[in-house]
Amino acid sequence: MHFDVAQIPESEAYKLLVSTVVPRPIALATTVDQQGRVNAAPFSFFNAVSSRPPVVVLGISPGDPNTNGGGDGYKDTARNIRDSGEFVVNLVDEDLAQRMNICAVDFPTGTEELALAELTALPSAGVKPPRIAQSPVSFECKRIAGMSLGAQSMLEVGRVIHIHIRDDLVDPKRFYVQTDKMKLIGRMHGRGWYARTSDLFLMDRLTPENWRDGGR
């Protein structure tokens, strides 16, 4: 089935996109506004795009004009990143899922989502926004670029300057992370479907030589 995106409503193109690009990692982003208030919101248009330097991106959709108080159509997260140049990405595991879902509620601007979700803020090492104690991994980020995608949708690019990983998940001498023990979740289709990352399989990396030998 072929769909010409220019000929279908944006809402239908959205459904086709998010129902096929799955699973998507989730960034529970913390930011601070100009009044010093902490905002927390999850985003699944998120990924790492570079390791040299380490860079992550957030895709942020337009805000609800009835709840986002900036009057500019942008979500609080996008506005705070634009104004401060800083944000923290907190990854979401199975234990954090329900409280992440509370942070997804479209509360009015100025709402302290961390308090409502009973999440603990910890000081960051190099940015003003706090990291979340319950998150297994947090990336402190400095904004290096931003791009308007139209209709108040934003792409924010951040350089990772500090990485926090829960002690039981990493060997600091070898920089080895026990990824399977993180139990991260991913965003799936629809409004409420998520995936676990516990059903894994392993494939060896092929060289040209063993590919020619039939993949052995």
DSSP state of 135: -
pTM, rounded to two decimals: 0.94
Sequential pLDDT tens for the chain (216 residues): 999 999 999 999 999 999 999 999 999 999 999 999 999 999 999 999 999 999 999 999 887 666 665 567 789 999 999 999 999 999 999 999 999 999 999 999 999 999 999 999 999 999 999 999 999 999 999 999 999 998 778 999 999 999 999 999 999 999 999 999 999 999 999 889 999 999 999 998 989 988 888 765
113: left (phi over 0), alpha (psi -120 to 50) or beta: alpha
Alpha carbon distances (Å) from 20 to 17, 45, 159, 197:
6, 13, 28, 17
What residue spans of the chain are helical by DSSP H? Answer: 10-18, 76-84, 97-103, 113-116, 179-182, 208-212
Q: Which domains does the chain have, with CATH numbers?
A: 5-212 (2.30.110.10)
d(CA 203, CA 109): 46
183 close to 137: Cβ distance less than 8 angstroms: no
